[in-house]
Structures are given as C-alpha cells and as structure tokens.
Copies of this chain bind each other. A is one copy, B any other.
Amino acid sequence: MADAGAISDFDALAAGKAIDDDANYQWRVARRPVGNVVPKDFDWHVTDLAEPGPGETLLKTHYLGLAPVMRAYMVGGSPSGESALKIGDVIHGRGVAQIVKSRHPDWQEGQMVQGQIGWQTYKVSAMTEQEKFFAMPHNGLPAALGSGVLGMTGLSAHAGLFACGSPQEGDRMVLSGAAGGVGSMVSQMAANVVGCDVVGMAGGAEKCAFIRDHGCRAAIDYKADDIEEALDRLCPDGIDLYFDNVGGETLEACMERLRMHSRVVLCGSISEYTRPEPFKLSNYTRLRRTDSRMQGFFVYNHLDRWDAVMDDIAGWIHAGKLVPVQDMAEGFAAMPKALAQLYHGRNVGVQCCSVRGEPEQWN
C-alpha cells in the first residue's frame, strides 16, 4: 500500500493540468498497478474533440464516480463485466454527462445522462447496451447525485440491503464500511426506512461521529477499537444481519456472532483488494447451526429494477430519511489522487469528482 507520502505525490501529478472545452482530456492506464495505485500508473492525454457519426452522441462530462473496482480495471481484470483494459486505454468510470450533440434517434441534445463515460472530459458514444446509459430523471435533485447516490452506488446499496439482506424491523444489524458510499446509504435506509438497530464500523473518530449522525445507533472505530470486544459489548445478543463491505477478519468476527436465521450480505471486500493472497474464511460452517445464509450480489445483475430503485431513493431523500453524502474532489486533474485515497479510506460517502469544478448542487 502507498503511504501518506505517496498520496502527496499526486498533487505534483495534478499540477498544471487544467482543462477547457476545446479538447478531450483523458486519464489512461500507463502501467499495471502493484499494490495501491501510484502517480506513474496514470497517463494524462489530450486529444481533439471527435464528431459523433450517425447513431452517435457527443457527451460532455460533468461528474465522475470513483469506486474500488477501478484499480482492478487498471490491473487488467474485468470483475464487473467491463472490457479488460490494455495499457494506454482510457480508464473505465461511470458518471454524469450532458449530450451536447446527438445523431442518435433516442437521445436528445441537452439531455443529462449517466453511464459509462470513462476518465475523460468528452465521449463520442453509440449509447450501447454495454455502456448502460440512463436518462437523469426530473426529480428536482442535483445532477451530481447521478455519479453515486442516484447511480450504481445507490443501486448497490438498495439491492444489497433489500434484495439480499431481507431486513426486518428490529433487526440487529452490523455494517462495515459504514462511512463509505454504499455504507452511508445502507445505514440510513436500514435505520430510517426499515427500523433496524444499526451498529456501524468506520475508521477514526471523525468518521465514527459521521456514521452516528447517519443511521448508526453506535459506531466501532476499527482503527482504535478491539472489534471482537466492541461487537460483544454493542451486540450482546448477536447479529441478525451483517452487511459486509470489507471482508477478511471483520467478516469472520461477525460470522461468529450470528443469531438464528441471520443473513450475511457480501457487498465488497476492500480489505482484500490489495492482499497478496485471498482471505480464507474458516467459520462458514457457522451458517449451519443458525439456519443462516450468506448472499452475494453483483450490482449489474439488478439493472432491471433501476427505475423503481431510483424512485425509492429519490423519495427517501425528499422525505428526509436519506441524506445523500458524496465526497466531491474538484477538477478532472484530481481523479488519480481521489482513487488512491479510496484505498486509504479517506472518503466519507461516495467518492466523486466534479470534472469542471461544478458545484455539488448544480442541476
């Protein structure tokens, strides 16, 4: 893993990399990352604006979301079904864009969309199935939310909690990564929509204060607390629902404390992305005695419920049950640093980037 010194090197990488509307600026894969990403893994590239051909659109990027999976893309993997990246390719990334030219019959100029744009300030797109573009709905909420809370992060949180976790009112729930993009949504939905009793885990006092303000009855600071002791103290009767964003020893500790008919949702395992060997789970047989289940999910398998899920989330935001939290990096040059910081757990809420310095409330 990169240390704090390496993080500051990203400021040097970003220095002087201003963008304008007259060219397409891109971040490309320069090298395969080893451990966490470092500045040399990224290549800054400037090209002319392309013209859309028949059936194509020209998209102008406004916001991009950042997700832990992106390092896996850079390594050449394809864990989410996107095409495998070669050295020199534009890095995959979903975000919010405006259609500034359209020669596509189904998409109009001026329309705001979200989908697979990549780390670039413009994109010529045939709006293919694989890019999974959705029109931004007219729900009165800021367009920036399409890069996270009203994007794939929101779908992940909703599908993981409701379709996989089967939460019940009064469930004792433990949630790791509670201050992150998915976590900060899951905790609020579980507490405020379902009525679960949520204990969250996050790193550091500041984040712990944040998650207590966003749905968690109590917080475990995984950097300072003894997790086993804290779980025993805060969940003395065990756990009905564990929502796992981190994997590893935290998963193991929660598995030890499952109650009858409990559920473990495997959402992410950020602790494992940079492990040299995969973590091995020794207590999966605990599922037997308690008639419990471990359920995995992959967000792209839940796209058929997109509209209903986004309506749910927008409704809960308007009703005050869900405060959208996005951690906005400013300017396209900041993308590599924002990604590196993800693996240090520095973001609160969904890590995003306002590509052109747009305000968070811009619509």
Contact = CB atoms under 8 A, between A and B. Distances in A.
A289 B269 CA distance: 13
Contacts of A26: none
**In this complex, which of A267, A272, A281, A286 has the most chain B Cβ atoms within 10 angstroms of its Cβ?**
A281
A278 to B, nearest CB: 5
Interface in A71-103: 79
Interface string A268-296: 01001000001111111111111111111
A29 to B, nearest CB: 23
Interface in A226-282: 247, 260, 266-267, 269, 272, 278-282
A297 B289 CA distance: 6
A280 B278 contact: no
B278 A287 contact: no
Given A281-B281, A284-B284, A298 B289 contact: yes
A128 interface: no
Nearest to A277: B282
A288 B294 contact: no
Contacts of A290: 296, 298
Given A280-B281, A282-B278, A296 B288 contact: yes
A288 B297 contact: yes
Contact of A293 (B285, B289, B291, B295): B295
A301 B290 CA distance: 8
A181 B23 CA distance: 70
Interface residues of A, number: 29
Contact of A269 (B279, B285, B297): B285
A81 to B, nearest CB: 9
A296 B267 CA distance: 19
Contacts of A301: 260, 291
A282 B277 CA distance: 9
A288 B298 CA distance: 6
A269 B283 CA distance: 12
Contacts of A280: 280-282
A294 B291 CA distance: 10
Contacts of A288: 266-267, 296-298
Point out which of A286, A288, A289, A294 has the most chain B C-beta atoms below 10 A from its C-beta.
Answer: A288
Q: Which 10 pairs of residues, A with B, have the shortest CB-CB distance?
A: A287-B296, A280-B280, A288-B296, A293-B295, A294-B294, A280-B282, A281-B281, A291-B301, A278-B282, A291-B297
Interface of A: 79, 247, 260, 266-267, 269, 272, 278-298, 301
24 contacts: A260-B301, A266-B284, A278-B283, A279-B282, A280-B280, A280-B282, A281-B281, A281-B282, A285-B296, A286-B296, A287-B294, A288-B296, A288-B297, A289-B296, A289-B298, A290-B298, A291-B295, A291-B296, A291-B298, A292-B295, A292-B296, A293-B293, A293-B295, A293-B296
